[in-house]
């Protein structure tokens, strides 16, 4: 690991130092034993001053090293991710203020853009298995593929979208908790929550044909034109290699300049990335190139009030490019919704709708 120029300090003969190495992305904590011996024990007082001064230098380099994000291709460990600040993910909406072009350009440079306000328009409602703890949803060839969670109940399913009937089901090991799902060319790839393993399935048979390891938790997964993106519940999205699942890079998702945590199920549509936010009835539309949220979709009101008492959170987004509609559901939801996203009228925004 590059620590910059090496500072050699003289220490008393009886003293050895063990100094932690710099923690950079992808590196684990370690230690470097320093057993430097002074050449002349008569320099005791001078050595002590050198000790104090010299001991500060490596720690300065540590702070400097941690501030530099590398692109070495080494996957960051989950222990090295910064903790989310209290209240992140519950960002308050800023009032809409007209901007001239110069102001807009300045805001784009800071990750601040005009965020479009959209809402869900229901096109059709279909049955959904109310025992399915939905974690991932994919549309392909007129059928839905669904990843479900919970220990002892996790599965990969092929589902008839109009009847909700499960056409094919592949159960996971009872010790695994199913998570996000993506169609990667001719394979389905399914994450697990805390096991650090992803499975690749043959699309036709749902038989496991490969598996991959990764650090940290698995939440959501999406694929589009060679880009495989994964969420872990933080504000960061990881780009992975579609073939071997190796870490490529990390992108922080920001809404009006603030990190957005609890990013869950993911879906690509028309070049944009869509994300459920855990525990919220809204969906984010994200620019996958810079991580900036450019639209917020209000998905509240899909279920009736009496239905909400028997279900868990909104989760599951699939996109049908032929009809240009989205399929939405949630954990234990009895319904599947085929929807489009439409602008919120100015009157609705001003009245808080």
At 112 the pLDDT is 64
Per-residue burial over 186-221, b if 16 or more Cβ lie within 10 Å, else e, is ebbbbbbbebebbbbbebeebeeeeebebbbbbbbb
Q: Which helix (H) or strand (E) holds 183?
A: strand 178-184
At 306 the pLDDT is 87
Four-point Cα dihedral 217, 336, 227, 218, nearest 10: 0
Read off the DSSP letter of residue 42.
G
- Three-state secondary-structure class, residue 68: coil
Contacts from 314-317 at CB under 8 Å and sequence distance 24+? 314/276, 314/280, 314/281, 315/134, 315/135, 315/264, 315/265, 315/276, 315/278, 316/134, 316/135, 316/136, 316/137, 316/146, 316/265, 316/276, 317/137, 317/265, 317/266, 317/267, 317/274, 317/276, 317/283
Locus of tokens 């001064």: 53
At 111 the pLDDT is 52
At 3 the pLDDT is 46
Tell me the pLDDT tens digit for each residue of 70-96. Answer: 334 444 443 333 333 333 233 333 333
Helices (H), 67-123: 101-109
Contacts from 148-153 at CB under 8 Å and sequence distance 24+? 148/178, 149/177, 149/178, 149/179, 149/193, 149/331, 150/177, 150/178, 151/175, 151/176, 151/177
pLDDT tens string, the chain, 353 residues long: the values are 444 444 444 444 444 333 333 332 232 333 333 333 333 333 344 444 544 445 555 555 444 444 333 334 444 443 333 333 333 233 333 333 333 444 344 445 555 678 999 999 999 999 999 999 999 999 999 999 999 999 999 999 999 999 999 999 999 999 999 999 999 999 999 999 999 999 999 999 999 999 999 999 999 999 998 999 999 999 999 999 999 999 999 999 999 999 999 999 999 999 999 999 999 999 999 999 999 999 999 999 999 888 888 889 999 999 999 999 999 999 999 999 999 999 998 546 555 54
Read off the DSSP letter of residue 61.
H
- 3-state helix, strand and coil shares in percent for the chain, rounded to the nearest 5: 15, 40, 45
At 349 the pLDDT is 58
Angle at CA of residue 148, ends 315 and 199, nearest 5°: 115
Furthest CA-CA distance within the chain: 88
At 346 the pLDDT is 53
Residue ranges covered by each domain of the chain:
17-66, 106-350
Q: Which helix (H) or strand (E) holds 63?
A: helix 44-66
At 282 the pLDDT is 94
One DSSP character per residue, 279-292 reads T-SEEEEE-TTT-B
Helices (H), 152-254: none
At 89 the pLDDT is 32
One DSSP character per residue, 226-255 reads TEEEEE-SSSEEEEE-TTT--EEEEEE-EE
Query: What span, in angstroms and rounded, lies between the C-alpha atoms of 117 and 345?
Result: 9
Query: What span, in angstroms and rounded, lies between the C-alpha atoms of 275 and 222?
Result: 10
Does domain 106-350 fall under CATH 2.120.10.30? My reply is yes
Query: What span, in angstroms and rounded, lies between the C-alpha atoms of 252 and 236?
Result: 4
Nearest to 238 by CA among 39, 135, 229: 229
Tokens, residue 228:
């495989």
Locus of tokens 């600040």: 85
Q: Are 293 and 260 in contact (CB under 8 A)?
A: yes
Tokens, residue 180:
């996000």
């Amino acid at each position: 690991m590059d620590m910059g120029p090496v500072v050699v300090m003289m220490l008393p003969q009886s003293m050895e130092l063990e100094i932690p190495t710099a923690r950079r992305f992808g590196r684990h904590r370690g230690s470097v034993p320093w057993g430097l011996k002074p050449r002349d024990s008569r320099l005791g007082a001078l050595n002590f001053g050198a000790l104090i001064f010299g001991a500060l230098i490596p720690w300065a380099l540590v702070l400097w090293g941690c501030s530099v994000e590398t692109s070495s291709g080494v996957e960051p460990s989950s222990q090295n991710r910064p903790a989310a600040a209290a209240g992140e993910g519950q960002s308050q909406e800023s009032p809409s203020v007209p901007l001239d072009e110069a102001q807009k350009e300045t805001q784009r440079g800071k990750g601040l853009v005009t965020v479009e306000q959209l809402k869900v328009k229901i096109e059709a409602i279909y049955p959904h298995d109310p025992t399915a703890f939905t974690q991932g949803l994919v549309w392909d060839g007129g059928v839905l593929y669904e990843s479900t969670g919970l220990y002892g109940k996790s599965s990969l399913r092929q589902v008839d979208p109009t009847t909700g009937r499960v056409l094919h089901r592949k159960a996971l090991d009872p010790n695994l908790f199913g998570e996000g799902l993506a169609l990667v060319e001719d394979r389905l790839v399914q994450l697990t929550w805390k096991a650090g393993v992803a499975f690749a399935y043959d699309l036709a048979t749902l038989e496991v044909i490969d598996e991959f390891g990764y650090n940290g938790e698995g939440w959501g997964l999406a694929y589009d034109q060679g880009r495989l993106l994964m969420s872990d519940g933080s504000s960061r999205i990881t780009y992975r290699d579609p073939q071997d699942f190796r870490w490529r890079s990390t992108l922080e998702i920001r809404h009006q300049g603030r990190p957005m945590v609890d990013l869950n199920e993911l879906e690509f549509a028309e070049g944009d990335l869509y994300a459920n936010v855990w525990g919220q009835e809204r969906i984010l539309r994200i620019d996958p190139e810079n991580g900036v949220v450019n639209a917020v979709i209000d998905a509240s009101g899909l279920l009736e009030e009496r239905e909400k008492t028997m279900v868990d959170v909104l989760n599951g987004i699939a996109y049908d490019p032929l009809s240009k509609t989205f399929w939405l559901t949630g954990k234990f939801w009895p319904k599947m919704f085929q929807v489009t996203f439409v602008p919120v009228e100015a009157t609705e925004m001003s009245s808080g709708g």
